[in-house]
Structure 1
Amino acid sequence: MGADKGSLSHQDKLWAQVAADKLSAVNLPVKFSVNPSQQPAYIGYFGDEQLIVDDPSLDIKGPLLGVLSAHLLNPEEDLFLLACDMLLMETKLLEELIHSFKTDDAFHAYIFTKDDQQEPLCGIYKVEGLKKIVHLLQTNGLAKHSMKYVLSNLQVCETAIEDQDYRYFSNFNSHAEINGL
């Protein structure tokens, strides 16, 4: 994208704020995962207390770094993850995920699938699953650091996305993709 997605603007709001508003709408507390270089700008937007800065002791990159950094700061809290580039996400789908989580607690993670492909960046990750991933990382048992690989090591509750809801899972990775929104 050439820029920090969370600080881009959509309908006069930062992408990070758009995601936060969706989570707040379903009564979830919101924190923002940032890397150290993003921290000063995000403090200006949201305040230091709402930020989780990537843990420098973790030798990983990408979304997993943010997820595990959040877990290590809140080791007894389940985590609802929503990527800031899912601008079209609807709260009804977030509520559906929460309902799955509350209905059946036998899983480590609760996510959606689209065309049989997992959508790991909108999901609920339980403490037990996060602890398992940290253990795998610490014992060199995590061969890859992708979120999909992480899910392959967990018991996952998958909810298939209805065809009419596919667009809500679009994540925007270029300026051309966001033109016309």
Structure 2
Amino acid sequence: MQETKPLYGLVLSGGQSSRMGQDKSLISYHGQPQRSHLYQLLQGVCIQVFLSVRAGQEQEIPSELAVIKDELEVRGPLNGILSAMQQHPVAAWLVIACDMPLVAFETLQTLVAARDDRRTATAYALQGSDLPEPLLAIWEPSSYAPALAFVQTDKTCPRKFLLNADTKLIHPAQDEELYNANHPHEYAYILQKLSHGTTVQ
């Protein structure tokens, strides 16, 4: 029987946020920057938590947030995920993107409880869908070598990688837990929703 690998958390916050027009990781949906909010949520289910940042961004991060800098010549979130795996190869990684404002602590608890460490990853998918959400998923250490080989063929889409990997899918109680806010109108929608009593713990 294999030993379950320790679970670390990774908040992906190194994107350029060009569609939003402001840094998505700094938007305050819950009384603090979103990157800090998600960092604290992950601390409740992970042994260690890190903020994934692009090169040059680490100087602007508060000292209380541990960071892992992108180290690969790869576009997109796989750079952050693989860079984290390189630094801590024994750990599994609960990865979450900073543009998911309706993820609750219960969302993370459900994912951790459903984790199958014999698989490449355990990922959320929308109800009725078989498309994994790679940026709300647990990536096992075994995913590192095939993911690295994947990007070395000039492929960068983490969803395509998980689609062709041994990925366990789970579904949220409500699809809006997986909502991505990438544009100003989506940001406005979330603010309106939260102001009408949607609570995220």
Report the TM-score when normalising by structure 1.
Answer: 0.84
Aligned to 1:174: 183
One-letter code aligned to 1:64: L
How far did 1:130 drift?
Answer: 1.7
1:146 to 1:137, Cα distance in 2 relative to 1, 3 A? closer
SS across alignment from 2:85? helix
Corresponding residue of 2:155: 144
State the Cα RMSD in Å: 1.8
Q: Name whichever structure is richer in helix by fraction.
A: 1
For 1:107, the equivalent position in structure 2 comes to 119
Unmatched tracts of structure 1, length 5 or more: none
**Partner Cα distance (1:82, 1:28) in 2:** 15
Q: Structure 2 stretches of 5 or more lacking a match?
A: 1-19, 195-201
Q: Residue 168 of structure 1: SS of its match in structure 2?
A: helix
Partner of 2:68: 52
Question: Aligned to 2:144, which of 125, 130, 138?
Answer: 130
What is the aligned-residue identity percentage?
26
Q: How many residues align?
A: 169
Is the counterpart of residue 94 in structure 1 residue 108 in structure 2? yes
* Contact kept? 1:18, 1:87, Cα under 8 Å: no
The Cα shift of 1:27 comes to 4.3
Which portions of structure 1, spanning 4 or more consecutive aligned residues, are displaced by more than 4 angstroms? none
User: Residue 48 of structure 2 aligns to a residue in which SS?
Assistant: coil
Deviation at 1:37, TM superposition (A): 3.0
Conservation of the 8 A alpha-carbon contact between 1:110 and 1:123: yes
Residue 151 of structure 1: CA displacement? 0.6
- Give the Å deviation of 1:41: 1.0
SS in 2 for 1:30: strand
